[in-house]
């Protein structure tokens, strides 16, 4: 459980400063975290600033067996090494601790996962250990409510190697704070269908066993219906990882630092078929080392997500990282617990 001893931390560039960075030495069980999430339903739906709050967990191992299981389920090959989405899963319990804290202003019921931005600045290797910290980020105004950001930083030997931002919409909040929420990724008519994938009925349960995210909307038809879904939906971060695995080069380490962006549009119902769309490999890309991709329904007409993979070269951390412009969602999803990781 968190140690409430505050620690001043301001060494992450362009992220919210947490004046109460609490050390976490023991992770609560998923059941305990979701009971905490349900208790947040009493919080009012009103615009409020984010608290100066963060959680840190040190000496987190990159476990080879866990990563291999995750890679197989999401389609990453062995030559890709540690998937760039893996630190997000390691930080998931810290996200839950942050968003269920009594000082966090928004209820978790009614949140919609809108987008994720990841920048990885160095290759990660099995057996290494990371220090993870999670804190509150910027607010953005949305026509359906309040968008807030959760920022995750991973350090190896006190050097930042990975930064991720998760953006959520708390529906029903009036007079939202922050600048207007705008999409970065638009529909691309030049993309062509590259694959069709079947998503089985138990995929949400398979992913939950690996990720620790036992959100009931992903597990069984009766639990999904409790939150307004006709069938379970797959975790948005599985959809991101599966499409990313298909879009990235086989040898990710050779491409150097990467900048990843995904915008979630509509949920993927289980079971079902989805289609993967990307630029034709034979055609030159608009920019070098950039790949745009989409996950769509079986007919190829409704987008589930839009994504972008981009190499960012050897630019220094301070120059290369800045908070991403938020990505809007066209989804009319029913309110649910945050769809992550």
Give the chain's length: 341
Residue 206 token pair: 């398979």
Residues 107 and 222 in one domain: no
Residue 268 token pair: 């993927």
Q: CATH number, domain at 240? A: 3.10.129.10
Q: What is the pLDDT of residue 298?
A: 98
Structural domain span for residue 10? 1-173
| Number of separate helices (H) and strands (E) present in the chain | 7, 13
Residues 15 and 138 in one domain: yes
Q: What is the pLDDT of residue 89?
A: 97
Counting as low any pLDDT under 50, the low residues of the chain are 1-15, 282-286, 314-337, 339-341
Phi, psi of 217 (to 5 degrees): -70, -15
Residues 156 and 223 in one domain: no
Nearest to 154 by CA among 81, 247, 76, 60: 60
Confidence (pTM): 0.86
Distance CA 69, CA 49 (A): 39
Nearest to 81 by CA among 314, 287, 253, 284: 253
Q: What is the pLDDT of residue 12?
A: 38
Q: What is the pLDDT of residue 69?
A: 98
CB-side neighbour CA atoms (13 Å) of 59: 4
Q: Is residue 181 part of a domain?
A: no
Q: Are strands 20-24 and 53-61 parallel, antiparallel or unpaired?
A: parallel
CA angle 111, 112, 118 (to 5 degrees): 115
Q: What is the pLDDT of residue 254?
A: 52
Q: Is residue 259 part of a domain?
A: yes
Q: What is the pLDDT of residue 278?
A: 95
Residue for token pair 């949920």: 267
Q: Is residue 115 part of a domain?
A: yes
Q: For 9, which DSSP code?
A: B
Separation of CA 138 from chain center: 16
For residues 154 and 131, the answer to whether their CB atoms sit within 8 Å is yes
Q: What is the pLDDT of residue 262?
A: 98
């Amino acid at each position: 459980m968190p140690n409430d001893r505050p620690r001043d931390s301001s060494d992450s560039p362009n992220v919210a400063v947490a004046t109460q960075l609490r050390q976490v030495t023991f992770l609560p069980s998923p059941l305990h975290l979701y009971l905490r999430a349900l208790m947040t339903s009493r919080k009012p739906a009103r615009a409020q600033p984010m608290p100066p709050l963060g959680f840190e967990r040190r000496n987190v191992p990159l476990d080879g067996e866990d990563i291999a299981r995750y890679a197989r389920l999401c389609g990453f090959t062995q030559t890709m090494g540690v998937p760039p989405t893996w630190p997000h899963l390691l930080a998931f319990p810290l996200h839950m601790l942050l968003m269920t804290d009594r000082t966090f202003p928004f209820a978790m019921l009614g949140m919609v996962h809108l987008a994720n931005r990841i920048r990885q600045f160095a290759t990660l290797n099995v057996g290494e250990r990371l220090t993870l910290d999670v804190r509150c980020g910027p607010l953005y105004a949305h026509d359906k409510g309040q968008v807030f950001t959760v920022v995750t930083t991973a350090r190896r030997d006190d050097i930042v190697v990975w930064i991720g931002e998760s953006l959520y919409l708390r529906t029903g909040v009036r007079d939202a704070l922050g600048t207007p929420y705008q999409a970065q990724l638009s529909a691309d008519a030049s993309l062509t269908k590259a694959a069709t994938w079947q998503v089985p009925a138990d995929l949400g349960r398979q992913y939950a066993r690996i990720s620790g995210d036992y959100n009931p909307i992903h597990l069984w038809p009766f639990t999904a219906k409790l939150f307004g879904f006709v069938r379970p939906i797959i975790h948005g971060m599985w959809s991101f990882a599966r499409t990313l695995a298909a879009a990235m080069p086989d040898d990710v380490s050779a491409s150097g630092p990467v900048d990843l962006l995904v915008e979630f549009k509509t949920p993927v119902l289980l079971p079902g078929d989805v289609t993967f769309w990307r630029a034709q490999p034979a055609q030159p890309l608009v920019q070098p080392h950039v790949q745009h991709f989409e996950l769509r329904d079986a007919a190829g007409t409704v987008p589930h997500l839009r994504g972008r993979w981009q190499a960012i070269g050897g630019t220094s951390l301070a120059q290369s990282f800045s908070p991403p412009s938020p990505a809007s969602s066209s989804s009319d999803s029913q309110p649910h617990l945050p769809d992550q990781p």
